[in-house]
Each structure stands twice: as C-alpha cells, then as structure tokens.
Amino acid sequence: MTEYRIEKDSMGEMQVPKHALWGASTARAVANFPVSGMTGSSLPDLIRAYGYLKKACALANRDVKALDPKIADAIARAADEMIEGKHNKEFVVDVFQAGAGTSINMNANEVLATRGMQIAAGGGQELKINPNDHVNYGQSTNDTFPTVLHLSALLAFPRLDAGLKAVQDACEKKGREWARVIKSGRTHLQDAVPITLGQEFMSWRNCIRHVRQTLKEAADKLLELALGGSAIGSGLNTADGYRPVAYDYLRKFTGLPVREPEDPFEAVNSRWAFLHFSGAIRTAAVELTRITNDIRLLSCGPTTGLDEFRLKPVQPGSSIMPGKINPSNPECMNQLLYQVLGNDHTVYLCAMAGQLDLNVMMPTMCCTTLWSMNWLANFLPKFAEDSVLGCTLNAERCQNYFETSQALVTVLNPIIGYANAAKIAKETLTTGKTPKQLIREHGILTPEQEKKYYDIDYLTKRYPQAGFDG
C-alpha cells in the first residue's frame, strides 16, 4: 500500500508518494494528464539535457552572487546524478502535457530541490531548497524548455548519425564487392541501359553520406539557445552577468559549442531551427524509404520476382505457406520510416502553431523527434546488417537481365540511328532473341566493335562515381 506525504504549491496541498523526489506541481500534472502512459522517463536525453541546464544555471547564479553557494552546489550535485540517469524514474509527467513544458520543468525543479536537500543533509548541512526560488532562479519554462529541446536533440544526434553511418558503410562494402556485376538498369520500372549492382549500392552510399551532411548542418542551427531570455526573451529577473556564465558552463559540461541567441525574443517565440532539423530527419526518412523499397524490389522472388540478390532470411515468412521467406527487415524499416515521417508532420504543425511571443507546443515537438531519432538509431545498424551486408548475389540472374534487355540496342544509336536501333529492339521482343544475337545476324557490328561497345567499362563507367574506384 502506497504511503503518501503532503506537499504544497501555490494552489494548495497535494498528496505525493512518500519517497518520491518530486512534489506538488508534478503531482498535479500527473493527475491532469493521464494521456499516453509514456512519461519523461522514456526520454533520457531530455532528462540529461535538463541536468546540464540546471547545473549550469545554478553555478552561474552562484558565480554572479545571485544564489547561496551552498544551495547552488547542492543543486549541481543533484544535477550530476540526473545527468548520470540515476533519477530517470522520477520524471513521471506524461509526454503530452500542458503547453510549453511547464510541467516537466517543474518536475525537474522539484526533483533537484528534494535531492539537493538530501545531499546537503548527508553532509551534515540543513538547507531549504525551493524548486521555484532556487532551482529555477532567473529562469522560465519559456527559455529553459527551448534550450533542452535543442540540447536533447544534440545529445541524441551522435547515435542517429552512427546508425546512418552503418548503412553508408554497408552499402559501400557491397558496392565494392559487386562492382563488376553488370545487369539491366531500370527507369519507369522498364528496362534501361546497363548498370552494375555495385553502382546502385554505391549510389545509396553517397545518398546517405549527403543526408548525414544535411543533418549535421541542421544540427548546427540548434547550437543557438534561448537560455537567459526568461519568460519572453527580455531576461527579466535574471542577474547581471548570468547568461554568458551559464553558456560557458553549458559548453564545458556538454562539450557542445552552444552559443547565445542573435535575437533572444526570436529564440523564445520561434521554433524554426528545430523545424529545420526535423525536416532534415524527414529528408533522411524519405531517402531511406526509397532505398528500402529498391532493396525489396531487387530481392523480390525468388522465382517470380527480380531476384538479383536475396536477403538474409531472419524468420519464417508465412504461417500457411511452407518455406516462404519475407523481406521482414526492410518491411520493419518501412513501417518505422512512415512513423518518422508522421512525427515530422507533427513537428511542422506544432512549429506553425506558435502564437505571439511563445510557442507552447514544444513538449510534443520534443518527444516525437526524440522518438524518431532513437528508433532510427536502434534499428539502422540492424538494417545495415540484415538488409545490406546480409544479402547474397544471384549473379546468373543479373547476367541474364543484362544480356536479354532490349535496352542494350541503345549502343547502336550512333552507328545505325535511333529508328533502326528501335527496329532491333522490337525484334528482340517478337523473336525472343537477345540484342547481341540479332546484331550478329544482321552483321551490324564487327567483332572488334562488339567487343568495344559491349565492354562493361564502356557501358557503365563513362563518368567516375564518388567514393568508388571499383
């Protein structure tokens, strides 16, 4: 049976579980927003960002003599525990909550106040630490939540980038392995001039490389923070000299080159930088969807599909058809990517919903983006392993597509003209003969010309491919 204590806030008394570090404001939020069952504890990067932020603010206020050094140090020590993840379970407010993030900001303030007092008591000091007057001194949800919004995404970013790098490296490895596996290209889902399987995989590699660069450039915009603006950007109730010191501490603690805002009012009221970052994630998801779909197409079969390569079998594909193997890994990736795209649309709507001097939709922007980043970071390495590195070549099928594709007659254009080449192409369909057979029958090319025009390098390597010398 849960034991309770009574805590008070500006609205009155609330029952709080006896051993909880949070207090009355958090208890009200828990009661007010029984939405998803997913709480702040499910977003460790957000909690870590709050730890860095509150520690920096406490020590900055100490340094400018706005906060008792003993209180500031106790808060900082409690924040260190938050950064280490020791108090994640204390973040109990639903991710869908009141606007701007006031509830989760107070959740952090209350946890740090209670834990700070416990730490002080353990050292023989009796301190009274107030969540609002001390932990939140010189701050507002309106400048702290935009700050942790950016910081949490920056903290999560290396894991996302590592996942994308795993796919990039896997595509490059396959690209080099299959550099000389010639096959038919396809445009409009119809036969096209030849390409190598390695060139297709290397093109995916280069796409992911560019996507990663786009994300890095977008992440740079998140380094400009709102901290110091307090409620509206004016810095009301902040101590003289506090803001630059707080930024110095944030740079030291996080290792990130965060910077003060060019316009502190804009930094509070606009979420354009976060929308831009979410848009870069959307671009990644769009390109990953395209690549995933191509992998499913090229591996479909095995007897009635393209079957140019086969995916690593990871589980039985049917509860009724024995021996059936489905593209389970890329199917999972597709579903994940569709959710990521939906999450970006949510961010877009939330960013657009900013009104006057504040955007209050930040909690949803935060959780949806961190979900996308963490889910992708979790699954991309598995996708790279199973859907890219794990696939095996069907060389015979690729060679057959190359030899039988009517698009091979394209090399005849400079010799006999487009119209005559088109006649040969049509003849391949009516006779079932390959372009090479018909070319020999009609005596169109000499043996030397045939050797030249149907050489793999002549057909597929007119221009170099980035990162690929295969």
**Tokens of residue 312, six digits:** 């690593």
Please pick, among 36, 278, 318, 387, the residue that the annotation labels catalytic: 318
- Strand 190-196 relative to strand 392-393: parallel, antiparallel, unpaired? unpaired
- Strand 190-196 relative to strand 12-17: parallel, antiparallel, unpaired? unpaired
* Alpha-carbon distance values, 77 to 80, 84, 109, 131, 152 (Å): 5, 11, 13, 15, 20
> Do the beta carbons of residue 154 and residue 256 sit within 8 Å?
yes
| φ, ψ for residue 242, nearest 5 deg | -70, -45
> Do the beta carbons of residue 274 and residue 365 sit within 8 Å?
yes
Query: Interior CA angle at 42 toward 36 and 46, to 5°?
Result: 115
Query: Interior CA angle at 170 toward 396 and 43, to 5°?
Result: 140
* DSSP code for 259: B
Indicate the burial class of 347 (C-beta count within 10 angstroms; 0-12, 13-18, 19 or more).
buried
Q: What is the 3-state secondary structure (H, E, C) of 182-199?
A: EEEEEECCEEEEEEEHHH
Residue with tokens 């795993």: 166
Who's near 364: CB < 8 A, 6+ residues apart?
A: 95, 96, 346, 350
Instruction: Answer yes or no: 318 catalytic.
Output: yes
**How far apart (Å, rounded) are the C-alpha atoms in residues 177 and 52?**
45
**How far apart (Å, rounded) are the C-alpha atoms in residues 246 and 253?**
11
> Do the beta carbons of residue 33 and residue 101 sit within 8 Å?
no
**Tokens of residue 139, six digits:** 């701050």
> Do the beta carbons of residue 275 and residue 351 sit within 8 Å?
yes
Asked, as a colleague might, if the bond just before 330 is cis with ω within 30 of 0, I would say no
Beta strands in 355-446 (DSSP E): 392-393
Read off the amino acid at residue 448: E
Q: Which residues are catalytic?
A: 318
